[in-house]
Amino acid sequence: MENTDFYSKSAILQRQQKTNETIEQLEKKRKSVRLLKILNGLFIFMGVGGLLSFKLIDSEMFAATTFSAGLMLVSFISMIVGVIGTIVISFGKKEEEYRTLYKTLLVKAVISEFFEKPIYEPEYGFSGQEIEEMYLLERVGVCFSEDYIHATYQNVTFVQADVRVEEFGTNRNSYIFQGRVFDFDFPKEVKTDVLVYGKAFSGISSYAKAKPEITMESADFIKRFRVFCNEAETAFYVLTPQIINAILYLGSIYQNRLAFRFTQGRVYVAIATKQDAFEPEVDKRTDYFSQCQRIRNELQVIVQFITELGLNHETFKDSRYSVRRQLPLKSPMDDVLINMYREKMLNDNINFIGAILITCAVAILLLSIIMPYIQ
């Protein structure tokens, strides 16, 4: 029987009020983050402008006058204020607070409407050990993961999370892998693992490289993907024409930046999107319906893989393997690696700030030398 209370006037007004309150909270927080970004840009401009002014004042364009001395003092103050302001804003947590609020109020609500039995933990994801045991990515450094979703769609249980793998010693924002990783039910018997990598996917695991490469019959597939498996018979059994066509279609959407591992009861998928999902747009005004649609589009990726690979097919309904943990796991080794990474980032920031302070000290020294000549 249809729930008429849901469509009653009071229920509709109540939902509208809740929507308005959500928008108001998000917009207030978004504006504060945007203001801080503008101020940060202003402070950087002041700091750089102050440093450049010393060179300009020292040139022949300015005579040794009281005006030039005053301008030099203003430049010095601008530089100091710019450096201090940039440091203060850089260590702030306003943007992180906005991201958390956005995911708690919006993303979680849309996921609950989209899937059955959803569990969403925005701050957690796959552990480093789990990523390693998927044998899909080459883990050579620290692993970050967030936006953990455990849910069911048309009787197919899955887990997904954003994953970023970074090697120690590399520059910031230089990742071995950044994208989304999925763990789907695969109700088909697999005697030995079959791994498939798009040729645009970087970072084939050593586990895959240790296996023979299998040549498939499809010329288009061979051109765009590589297959690794110990037994050619198993590879052909798992990679049916329907699965191959699905992989080709999905590869055309994601520029062949895909990787699959078919194993007993599971298919693991990685998409190298080079960006995180479910992230808010700080520079745009919060529009409830457009933001919800953005989130739905991100969730539709999950549905797309389930339907294209045929994981929800009726013939599989009585042979599903859905034994997996429902809550995100964080191992002690992850904490050690992440703390090491954060310590490295902190040291980099300290070195950067130290370089700025040394520059300021040199500027002060130059000021003390120049001032007697222009008074």
- The full set of domain ranges for the chain reads 4-92+341-374, 94-277+284-330
In sequence order, the 6+-apart residues with CB closer than 8 A to the CB of 62 are 56, 68, 71
Q: Which among 220, 258, 226 has a CA at the least distance from the CA of 241?
A: 220
pTM (predicted TM-score)? 0.70
238 near 262, Cβ under 8 Å? yes
| Whole-number Å distance between alpha carbons of 310 and 305 | 8
State in Å, rounded, how far the first CA of the chain is from the last one: 90
Q: How much is the pLDDT for 352?
A: 59
Q: How much is the pLDDT for 257?
A: 95
Residue 99: exposure state from Cβ atoms within 10 A (0-12, 13-18, ≥19) = buried
| Whole-number Å distance between alpha carbons of 66 and 72 | 10
Q: How much is the pLDDT for 65?
A: 47
Q: Which residue has the tokens 């892998």?
A: 177
Q: Which among 336, 364, 367, 314 has a CA at the least distance from the CA of 83?
A: 364
Q: How much is the pLDDT for 45?
A: 57
Angle (CA) 212-215-220 rounded to 5° is 140
Per-residue pLDDT of the chain (375 residues; tens, 9 = 90+): 445 554 454 544 555 556 666 666 766 766 676 666 666 666 565 555 555 555 555 554 444 444 455 555 555 565 565 555 555 555 456 677 778 888 888 899 899 989 998 999 998 899 888 888 899 988 667 888 999 999 999 989 999 999 998 876 555 556 789 999 999 988 888 999 999 999 999 888 999 999 999 999 999 999 999 999 999 999 999 999 999 999 999 999 999 999 999 999 899 999 999 888 888 877 777 777 888 888 999 999 999 999 999 998 765 554 444 445 555 555 444 555 455 555 555 555 555 555 665 666 566 556 555 555 545
